[in-house]
Structure 1
């Protein structure tokens, strides 16, 4: 395991120390939106990101940080940590153990290390130069995506069809209709299941850099691929397609590309 991979694991444990005591406890949710709608944030989000940032600052003061809750600090640095302290805050406040902590390291602008951590289940999915692994306590299990040649055989996911606009929803609906099984509401945990060979495809939109940066090294180090809806590398457009078997990309993009930004 590389130095930065080991540090990403350390950051996941630091975050868990802040989030776990509040999960299924007395944790009020505030609304980030003042003009309608509901975009929740909790003390778990804020405390975890603050703790991660403190440790990064102590260990690597020359590294940059981009976080959902506290913004950017030296985003143009060679090494930049991209943080979503609680991805799936709605699941968190509903008591569902499908939220995760997402930690990514970008090197030269590209995600090089990624962590998808679910501390309540004692699961850390990590991907990077050393490969992809599921770590539970002292156990370390290699992650490997599974073969899935046809979309009609695929288990797929998106967090919520409400995230899609009209054209995107039409595209997703066609992909869903062609698949074997679709599951909703998993947030970033679905990408961990792609890496683990339990799901085959995830399609989402409106993702921010902290939503997708950690997913790329985990899925790709496990043998999968992550692209945007045009088939290129993920970008600020926020449309992401992750597959365990690259043969699914063209089959999904036949539809998704029509709604690509």
Structure 2
């Protein structure tokens, strides 16, 4: 091999080496770029998660009342005791029908004997007691004390139950629920503002209890045989309380 041929082969080898290096760089560049794009993890949103609980309560004036009155009488003769009870029922029904009330009905009729000792003679005497109840509904709450007074004078001798309520509670429940949701939004906005976040997002919301509590107006109201007086029925400040609770998961971002 002469000198010129050897130099020519060296020249050819250098050219081939250059081509391989250039091609290697060419094909490796995209792979490097792809690797550089995949290595960094996706930047997560900067947010804070919080849980909020809301309990909203509102009072409403009742517009209807359910009343249950009780009355009883006794006699040593069962037939006489029943007859007297029937007379009381007739008098009470007449008063209620004149007042044009709703849902008038009798309930809880019962006859039972009781044996007691006569304190003067020491004799054991059996009495037949007849108990009964009458139920009605009224929307005239202002006149209820007067009406109850008339019923007591006609023979009723105790108030079993007085339940003040709303005739339709659906609208009131919707109003209180809307207020609870408004309170939730206000609290979420307050947290976002005070934790240096621009906004909030409600991710999940759970509704809890929706309760309606009538006013506890049941007090003893009896007519005494000696004076004929009776206690007044409490009507002032009677309210119906509606309560709505909910919880939510929110994100502040």
Normalising by structure 1, report the TM-score: 0.19
Larger Rg, first or second structure (1 or 2): 2
Higher strand share goes to which structure? 2
Q: Which has the bigger relative contact order, CA under 8 A and spacing at least 6?
A: 2
State TM-score, norm by structure 2: 0.19
